[in-house]
Structure formats: structure tokens, C-alpha cells
Structure 1
Amino acid sequence: MFVQSLSFKEINLIMHKRTHTGKKPHQCGICGKAFFTSSHLSRHKRIHTGEKPYHCDICGKSFFQSNAITKHKRIHTGEKPYHCDICGKSFFQSNAITKHKRIHTGEKPYHCDVCGKSFSINSVLTAHKHTHAGERQYHCGIC
């Protein structure tokens, strides 16, 4: 039996091409979600199994993904590697600085499809959409 071995560059090219073709040959047998790579499928399966193989050696909290523990440990160390080049404020995570910079730029990329109002943070748009449905996210137990 002949097994062809692919170089790292060839494998990366195959994976890259899948982003263009949309081909996701690795499918979860439980929920049917498909993935570009077998490693992404393996990571996804932890959602179903509850496996959290990455543990914080400081507080013991467990995580599904290795990058999550890296971010988590910054809580203990105080490391804030993401700095705003406009005001100098620092952040634990890259997504926080992305949101923060919108304060300076005025960018509001999230738009309500009902009234057209724009928001800088997606969760604020989600809360706003409830107002159109007459829903209140929080209810006062007194009035």
C-alpha cells in the first residue's frame, strides 16, 4: 500500500482552498455541523462531551480550547496586551479593543433591520430589537 505524504505547505493550501469552495468534509455525527478540518471537528465535539482538557493552574477553571485558557490567565496576571493607539487604554482581549476603538471612530456596523438604527456593539442591537417586539429584557417585580 502506497501512502502519499503531503508537505505542511500543501496541507495549508488544501485548507485555504476550502475557504473559497466552502467544502467542509468533516461532519459532526451528533449535530451534523461541518468543518474545514478534522482538528476543528475534534474541538467542536467537546461541546457535546463536555470535555474541558485545558485547566488553569492558578484557580482550576477548565476550558474547551487552549486559546481560552491563555485569555483567562490574563485575569490572574493582569496582562493587557492590546493597547488603543488613540487613548492608550489597555485590554485583556483583542475583541475588547475592537469594540473600544469604535468610541473614537464612531463606527456602528450593526444595523436594525426594522428601523435602521445603528449600533457599535452587536449585543446592544440584540437588546434593541426586543423593543420592536414589545418585549422587555428585564421586568420590575413591583410595577
Structure 2
Amino acid sequence: MQCGKKFTRKGNLTKHTLIHSGVRKYECSECRKKFATKTDLTRHALTHSGVRNYECLECGRKFTQKGHLTKHILRHSSNRNYECLECRKKFTTKTDFTKHILTHSGVRNYECLECGKKFTQKDHLTKHTLTHRGVRNHECLECGKKCITKSDLTKHTLTHSGVRNFECEECGKKFFTIGALDRHAFRHTGLWEFKCDVCGKCFKTKSKIARHMKVHF
């Protein structure tokens, strides 16, 4: 057993084990991302179609898959049962929590072959590699700004809506996205989340450590 995950049907287990094999035979013709199963490729292809049939009644955000909507709805809930003992950040799902704790481990197994930058998650690497292609196909109809991914465009368009559905319980400040709220809320903890791998200096925000890293190169 690779990860201990259990299934009720043997067929589902067989498909799951392909993830551990590293074999990804099915490639998206749109963005070249590869998948272990044809089903995963089919689901992914929907992200390029522009069809988003699953809408969140809370904030209006739309999704291509019902599972993504279900996970998103949890973010509107105040129930964040998974807390990181390292930085006290809380999560609504175990999956998000598991991904987060990798950031504290220092283990970055996914390396960009173009520039050598390493990541804790494969999807972060995939998104990063798009920056080397220089292709920004997703344009905001409101201001003309172009984004690398459709998800980035979706987040950007929220800034034009004026709707800020995510409020900080500590100070009442409101944000367009849950990610922005999470980053802000961390500042109230008094902790320093971003550590420089070169000199060990810590920073509260990603933008500040990015500026700092320039002194080393």
C-alpha cells in the first residue's frame, strides 16, 4: 500500500494506484498538462471550455465540477476544524490542511526544469511553468488586464465587482477572496510565516520576502 487510502470497489483502487505510478499518458492539447486517467483529463478539459454550471449561491462564483463547488462552499463556513500546530492557521478540509503542512516541512519535491525553482505541490509547479511560456490568454473585459490562468482572471474580476464577502473576525476588514482573508488574518497572530532559505530572516507576507530575496541574487 502506498498511502493507505481505502476504496469500496476494486476498480476505484486500480485507478487510484495509477497516481502513485507516475505514469501520465493522457495529455491536454490545450495546456500540455498530463493525467494518469482519461477521466481526469476529461474533467480537466472542462476548465478550458468556459462552461461552469455549478454556481455558489453565497458569492456567485461558478465551477466546472460539482466537487469543486462542494469544497468551495465549505470556505464560507465558520467551521475550520483542522488547525496547523505550527502557525495556528485553520482549514475547513483535511486536504487543504495536509497541503499546508508541507510548507513547513521544507520538502520541495517538484522542481522547475526551466529555472530550478522548487515547490511543495505539483499544481503549484504546473502553474509556475506557465510563467515561462509568457502566454496570457485570459483577458479581463473590464480593464484589459491579461492573466496566465483562468482562475487568476476569475479572482481579478472580483476586484471590479466591489463585493467583499469575506470578513475578518478580528478587525472587520473585508476581502474579495478567501485567500486574501487568510493572508490578512495571519497578521493578527503575530507570527512570521515566510522564511528566507538563504539567511533565515522571516517575513509576514509573500510580497515582502520576494522583495528581500533580490538582495541575494
With structure 1 as the length reference, what TM-score do the two structures score? 0.55
Kept in 1: contact 2:140–2:153 (CA 8 A): no
Counterpart of 2:20 in structure 1: which amino acid?
T
Higher RCO (CA < 8 A, seq sep 6+): 1
Counterpart of 2:190 in structure 1: which amino acid?
G
Unaligned stretches of 5+ residues in structure 2: 1-8, 49-129
Match 1:110 to one of 194, 203, 210: 194
Trace 1:8-47 onto structure 2 (pairs within 5 A): 17=16, 21=20, 23=22, 24-28=24-28, 33-35=33-35, 37-38=40-41, 39-40=43-44, 43=47
Cα deviation, 1:43-74, whole Å, max 9, x if unaligned, reads: 47xx788654x975xx38587536843x3443
User: How much is the aligned-residue C-alpha RMSD, in angstroms?
Assistant: 4.3
2:171 matched to which residue of 1?
87
Partner Cα distance (1:103, 1:66) in 2: 25
Counterpart of 1:27 in structure 2: which amino acid?
E
Does 2:208 align with 1:124?
Answer: yes
Partner Cα distance (1:51, 1:18) in 2: 34
Kept in 2: contact 1:84–1:90 (CA 8 A): yes
Structure 1 residue 105, shift from structure 2 partner: 0.7
* Alpha-carbon distance change, 55 to 109 in structure 1, aligned in 2, over 3 angstroms: closer
Identity of aligned residues (%): 28
2:150 matched to which residue of 1?
65
Larger deviation, residues 84-93 vs 117-126: 117-126
Kept in 2: contact 1:34–1:41 (CA 8 A): no
* Alpha-carbon distance change, 92 to 18 in structure 1, aligned in 2, over 3 angstroms: farther
Partner Cα distance (1:34, 1:67) in 2: 21
Match 2:183 to one of 99, 107, 110: 99
Partner Cα distance (2:30, 2:161) in 1: 38
Kept in 2: contact 1:27–1:41 (CA 8 A): no
1:140 matched to which residue of 2?
none
Larger Rg: 1
Q: Name the SS of the counterpart of 1:105 in structure 2.
A: coil
* Alpha-carbon distance change, 40 to 89 in structure 1, aligned in 2, over 3 angstroms: same
* Alpha-carbon distance change, 67 to 130 in structure 1, aligned in 2, over 3 angstroms: closer
With structure 2 as the length reference, what TM-score do the two structures score? 0.39
